[in-house]
Structure 1
Amino acid sequence: MSATHLLPFTLVALAAALDVAANLLLTLSNGFRKKLWGILAILLVLGAFTLLAQAIRYMDLAIAYATWGALGILGTALGGLWCFGQRLNAVGWAGILLVVVAIVVIKTG
């Protein structure tokens, strides 16, 4: 994959990482009762959307958004597990696996 093709996926991956961090900060904000965590979460979401907007300059919106969503879902599930001990059941993990497989099918199709 050339650098030109790598850039949009790097932007999407960075956008997803900011989104995951924002989601974890929302948990820390305790429903915005802790305002600083909530404000930081909002700023990270704005950053994530900015990176996603740049990515769609180089790739189809459907691919960028679906990839961002899948990475965000998986990252948030893993972050919730590692940071807060939140556990999904087998059906939840199977659902995440289906989303990831769907993204691979969309990208290769």
Structure 2
Amino acid sequence: MDIKLDFVPPSLINFISRQLISNGFRLYKKTVASMMSHGEEELSKALGDPLYVRIRESLSLNKMRIFSLLKRTLLKVSKMRQRLQLKRIKAINMQIVPRRWW
């Protein structure tokens, strides 16, 4: 079955796919947490394997990197907005106050 998605904006497709991925990851985390709390010794041993430990560490590091990148981006955006507001104020002042030509 071929579905034409030309009329759907790419931003909407991106948003929906991100929501699906994040909800799936949350479900995975809940499942793993519930299985580990039930006293499943084999599962807890398997998840204590160095491979899974590395995966968990990299996921937490990626979260920290994403948050720091988001923070830097928000700071840049706020600085850009301040500059834009100053330019607008200067432009308004230039229109209101006539220039004197000496």
Which range, TM-score by smaller chain?
Answer: 0.3 to 0.5
- Larger Cα Rg: Structure 1 or Structure 2? 2
Please give the TM-score of this superposition, normalised by the length of structure 1: 0.32
